[in-house]
Chain A
Amino acid sequence: MIQFVLRKLSSTAIVMGLVAVIVFLLIHLSPGDPAAIIAGDQATPAMIEQIRAGLGLDQPLIVQFWLWLVRLAHGDLGVSLFSHVPVGTLIMSRIQPTVSLAVATMLFAILTAIPLGVVAAWQVGRWVDRAVMALAIAAFSFPIFLIGYALVWGFALKLRILPVQGYTTLGNGIVPYLQHLVLPALSLGLVFMALLTRMTRSTMIEVLGEDYIRTARAKGLGQGAVLIKHGLKNAAVPLVTTIGNGIALLIGGVVVTESVFSIPGIGRLTIDAVTQRDFPVIQGIILVTSFTYVVVNLLVDLSYRLFDPRVRA
């Protein structure tokens, strides 16, 4: 067990290192002069030089990489080119709305997708299955912003039962907090619901074909018990993997969703940084989100040992 954990930790460390290298190389592999592009078309040569020095691009590559790694090891993600606030501070100040949105989205997706997928697998080939699959394929084909605008138009502008946009903290009461999260979580969650429903369905179809399911049915166990206790429990591992891998997609979707609903989170920070071409901020966000993804997936890998005794062997 300890050996297994150590091996996982070391491979995670390698992947994190490679993410750091890729993110570092991003600015060096781009064609053209990044400093000139960040400075914009009206920039004077002096301004371009100032940005170049600010990014440390005037030093040899290997020196830059070393300095960057040392800073990173101290948790220093650099400083915004425009507000001159440390990137780490910027990200921390925006993290709460994003985490709220991500958690609400995941909860919605998991709570809807698993029942839908189980029912579809149980009724495979019948109309219920076809309807669920049609819903799933539509839900991950339409862009998040279109679903978002459609929901805003329907629920906020026409029915007037939910706020159009914005975010309030839990401090202002739980009801307004949740009201502001419903539409964003729904727009972003449909994609995950679709992904997870398809995975639940296909895994469950496979599991339901196993001998132990036939045995369970033969000994007279009820449909519900067969599906949940014998079926879903054995389908858990691929589902947890899908949820873990989905984090990367979720983070991309958060950027778009926060823009549609004007939520002041990491996504909004990304968009503001994009319009100002504030590269250190983008670089910091990419690093933090990628590391989050890697850590979540490490936890998922480790949790298999708890879920599935077969992996333990």
Chain B
Amino acid sequence: MTGAIATPTTLAFKRKRRSFRFLSRHLTIVIGATLMTILVLLSVCAPLITPYDPVALDLIHRLRPPSASHWFGTDNYGRDIFSRTLYGGRVSLFVGISAALLSALIGSVIGLLAGMFRWADAPLMRVMDGLMAIPAILLAVGMMILTRPGIPIVIIAITIPEVPRVARLVRSVVLVIREQVYVQAAVAIGTKLPRLLLHHILPNALTPIIVQVTYVCASAVLVEAYLGFLGVGIPPETPSWGNIISDGRTYVQLAIWIVLFPGAFLGTMVMAINMLGDGVRDMLDPRLARRL
């Protein structure tokens, strides 16, 4: 009788203990995911939380330090930095995630082609080497000054320098997978190429791609801020972390809070994404640690 009651509780206890062990062993994932969830929620729910319109001017209350009515202070037009930071997060995250997904897509296609077909390998990878040699921020700056600013063009300018990193990784993974017995078996029974790529090769290359994409996302959010800082980012009327910081640059000795708060949000976000990437990498494939 007692045994019958004890068993489920012991099981539940064991389960609880196992999940606790997971949490303590993968502390980086837990911290990264928590920070990221908080920041994403704050950005997504910006219209519900923020007390002010992020673009509303209030010239009487300009350059005010953080206070009860303006938690993060105001900028040179009296705009509320708290509201702007949360709204800015939406734009910056959108840009970061789009650039990460786009570079993953383009990079994977190039990497697959280079890894699978010997004739494509040398030309594609030399072009990738050429792109890699150009400093990412300068390449993005070079593209931005020739076009009218807009969110899509910023995404493209951030994506292109990141493509070679994904392509190189996918290629090196494909070169290994290609030689595996199960792939050769699939070839031997006459599997068609598209099926071979989609069902046999891509799924096994997915883990490193996912990890790489988190790093690209972190880097994309940073580059958006750098472009904004240099004055060639998203059009100035849209608040993004980069733009808010760019506006506050001139007032840095007078009103450090304009730069400080969006910068801190940005840094925390990038750190959360990096931690998540590190954690997932260590959990899924410890051997990857050296290659990324």
Contacts and interface: CB of A to CB of B under 8 A. Distances in A.
Contacts of B259: 145-146, 149
Contacts of A206: 290
A248 B136 contact: yes
Contacts of B213: none
A285 B134 CA distance: 10
Interface stretch (B50-58, B82-90, B99-107, B125-133): B125-133
Interface stretch (A101-109, A167-175, A289-297): A289-297
Q: Which among B142, B267, B270 has the highest number of chain A CB atoms within 10 Å?
A: B142
Contacts of B232: 274
A290 B148 contact: no
Interface string B252-292: 11001001100110111011001100100000000001100
A67 interface: no
B166 interface: no
Given A34-B146, A149-B252, A142 B267 contact: yes
Contact of B260 (A32, A149, A277, A286): A149
B203 interface: no
B137 A255 contact: yes
Contacts, number: 154
Interface stretch (A22-30, A224-232, A303-311): A22-30
A42 interface: no
B145 A15 contact: no
B231 interface: yes
Contact of A32 (B148, B222, B253): B148
A256 B137 contact: yes
Contact of B230 (A32, A259, A283): A259
Contact of A251 (B130, B135, B153): B135
A144 B289 CA distance: 26
Interface in B136-195: 136-139, 141-143, 145-148, 153
B226 interface: yes
Given A27-B146, A32-B147, A256-B230, A137 B278 contact: yes
B95 interface: no
Contacts of B275: 137
Interface of A: 11, 14-15, 18-19, 21-23, 26-27, 30-32, 34, 37-38, 137-138, 140-146, 149-150, 153, 157, 202-203, 206, 248-249, 251-253, 255-256, 259, 270-271, 274-275, 277, 279, 282-283, 285-286, 289-291, 293-294, 297
15 contacts: A18-B126, A19-B134, A34-B146, A38-B145, A141-B270, A143-B245, A146-B259, A149-B260, A252-B137, A255-B138, A274-B141, A279-B145, A286-B134, A289-B138, A291-B133
